[in-house]
Amino acid sequence: MIRPAPSIGNPIHPSERASVLVGVLWVQVLLTVIVVSLLYTTRLELRISKTHSDSIRAYYLAVAGSEKARHILDLALNDRQSSGVNHKDDVYKEVNEFRPTSIGTGTFQIGYPANVAGLTNFVFGVLDEERFLNINVATIEELKKLPGFDVDLAPYLIDFRDEDSEVTQGGYEIVDESASTIAGGESDAYSPKNQALVSRLEILAIPVVNAALMYGEDSDLDGALDSHEDDGGLGMPMDNRDGQLLTGWVHSTTVNSGISTDDARGQKRINIQEAAESQWTGINGVTEEMAGQIIRWRNNNSFESLVDLLQVRSGGDNNNGEGGNNNNESEDSNSGNNVISQDFLISIGDSITTGEAKVGCVNINSASKEVLTCLDGLEGELAEAIVNHRSSSGYFKNILEILNVAGMTVEKFRAIENRICVRSETYRIYSEGLVPASNISRRLETIVQINSSGIKNIAQRIVD
């Protein structure tokens, strides 16, 4: 008789087998999710790492562009000193060396967007700071003439930048620390800088500033229409989403400008207030007799302006009065013939000066009509005449050539003499580095000063 085999443990029910299978499947799913998550995280980290790496690469490409622009500016200085021509436009527009240049897997270019007649074009060039109004030296009257300027801000800006504690009428200084208030009686956590501005953005620290009037739609002051500046006001700044960049008054200003006393060739101009006879005869066309007459006249009359040389007459030991130049039409002062004619004075204009370096001067060869109009005595019609004259007759070789402009008088020249120049020595470089593979770019703004003493960086910032 055959006996059945003994059973080993309890038999497994089919439903239990299914549960085990489901558990195994869930474990596989969980492991798959974990693996996929790890792969995604790793890929994301790699992508972030690559983005960061490309961002750094784009930055150094922009630096390379800035250095190339410095080199081109140095060559332009050498050309100016060789040719003896103060102003040329060969670094301002359509500079082939500033067009996209490849380095390895990236490129850089130097230039800026310019809005002309409602159209935005990219200009391959640099901007000179002397074409703008320097807010560190501008008077209240000059500031108020800036297009779109908030006139109530002018005295505040003067008190913000000056080094004294005297309150400009309508402005603000902390006179009493225990009771300092600003306009409107508000409690004051604000105190003027009482130093020159190093950036135009510092103006935003003044409590009464209207930011919308100040920078318009260009909130980062880079001259480019960025996406957040053309989104219909979804974010700051407010804009009208018309595809054009509307700029504020600050775009006509600078905090860095000024030139040395050198002439176009890099030689020191002679100071007419103290030059010796040998220095005068070193100027082409000035004879020993003329030099002697100038000095004899100067012994009794001060030269406060270059145009005072027009008053020098033969037998110039006449005394027009003590304590400065006297313009009275006395018989003595009018005796003799004019030693220097206006035409001759203009011809030697780049060789003479009345003082030190011109800080904050405006370049009449590059400034717009709007900026020129800010200067004392240059109403709109005369400012436009200056722009038209340089377009039709060529750039001014020295500041005295402005006397050839219709409507310009000797008296008006005296008022602006120390505020104008005919060349620039301070430049704003916009360089952009791009990594095409990732379309990542970085934009760099560099302010440099270049003259006979060399070239140096004044300021630098990332603007994107």
Element holding 133 (H helix, E strand): strand 133-134
* 98: DSSP letter: G
Phi-psi region of 100 (alpha: psi -120 to 50; beta: other; left: phi over 0): beta
State whether 289 and 340 are in the same domain: yes
Q: Is residue 179 predicted with pLDDT exceeding 80? A: no
State whether 308 and 383 are in the same domain: no
State whether 279 and 342 are in the same domain: yes
| Distance from C-alpha of 158 to C-alpha of 208, rounded to nearest angstrom | 13
In a domain, 423, yes or no: yes
State whether 378 and 441 are in the same domain: yes
State whether 42 and 88 are in the same domain: yes
Quickly state the pLDDT bin for 187 (edges 50, 70, 90): very low
Decide which of 308, 333, 356 is a domain's last residue: 356
State whether 379 and 337 are in the same domain: no
Contact predicate 305/389, CB 8 Å: no
Decide which of 306, 331, 356 is a domain's last residue: 356
In a domain, 413, yes or no: yes
* 353: DSSP letter: E
State whether 435 and 396 are in the same domain: yes
The HSE-up count of residue 184 (CA atoms within 13 Å, CB side) is 5
| Distance from C-alpha of 154 to C-alpha of 214, rounded to nearest angstrom | 12
| Distance from C-alpha of 204 to C-alpha of 295, rounded to nearest angstrom | 51
- Average pLDDT over the chain reads 84
Look up residue 71 and give its two tokens: 């080199």
For 282-322, what is each residue's pLDDT tens digit? 999 999 999 999 999 999 999 999 999 999 998 645 554 43
For 99-147, what is each residue's pLDDT tens digit? 999 999 999 999 998 865 555 688 999 999 999 999 999 999 999 999 9
Decide which of 356, 373, 402 is a domain's last residue: 356
Q: Is residue 410 predicted with pLDDT exceeding 50? A: yes
pTM here?
0.82
The parent domain of residue 319 ranges over 263-356
In a domain, 219, yes or no: no
Who has greater pLDDT, 185 or 110?
110
Can you give the pLDDT at residue 305?
Answer: 96
State whether 333 and 374 are in the same domain: no
Can you give the pLDDT at residue 329?
Answer: 39
In a domain, 106, yes or no: yes
State whether 382 and 394 are in the same domain: yes
State whether 410 and 459 are in the same domain: yes
Contact predicate 422/402, CB 8 Å: no
State whether 272 and 341 are in the same domain: yes
In a domain, 165, yes or no: no
In a domain, 43, yes or no: yes
For 231-267, what is each residue's pLDDT tens digit? 455 555 555 555 666 778 999 999 999 999 999 999 9
Domain count, the chain: 2
In a domain, 205, yes or no: no
In a domain, 317, yes or no: yes
Quickly state the pLDDT bin for 324 (edges 50, 70, 90): very low
- Alpha helices by DSSP H, 162-217: 211-215
Q: Is residue 223 predicted with pLDDT exceeding 90? A: no
Residue 222: count of CB within 10 angstroms of its CB: 19
State whether 120 and 51 are in the same domain: yes
Look up residue 445 and give its two tokens: 């703004």
| Distance from C-alpha of 207 to C-alpha of 156, rounded to nearest angstrom | 9
Look up residue 89 and give its two tokens: 């436009």
